[in-house]
Amino acid sequence: MNNNDRTYERLARKLKAMAHPGRLRLLAELRQGPCCVGDMQRCVSLSQPHVSQSLKVLKKAGIVAGLRQGTRICYRIVDPVVEDILKKLMSKESER
């Protein structure tokens, strides 16, 4: 596998991780700034296990990172390209 193939594989993993309505909702929430799991759960109306599992997928793809604050873990988007993609997608969708 050459470098271009690895790049495409990495990009495909990120897009696949984003390609779920629940994960997109979490990412939209995280665009507003860092947020802890419990707070995200209330904001997006998803169960705590669903939020945690989705964050695990996004973290594995290199899209978000968590920072422990006492007993809580707060997440933020760490990939600026993903943030740009979300911004463009949301602005196009709001034009409809």
**Domain tally, the chain:** 1
DSSP of 23-88: HHHHHHHHTTS-EEHHHHHHHHT--HHHHHHHHHHHHHTTSEEEEEETTEEEEEE--HHHHHHHHH
pTM (whole model) above 0.85? yes
Task: Quote the pLDDT of residue 46.
Answer: 87
CATH of the domain at 21: 1.10.10.10
Render pLDDT for 24-68 as a digit per residue (tens, 0 to 9).
999 999 999 999 998 898 888 888 899 999 999 999 999 999 999
State the residue range of the domain holding 32. Answer: 3-94
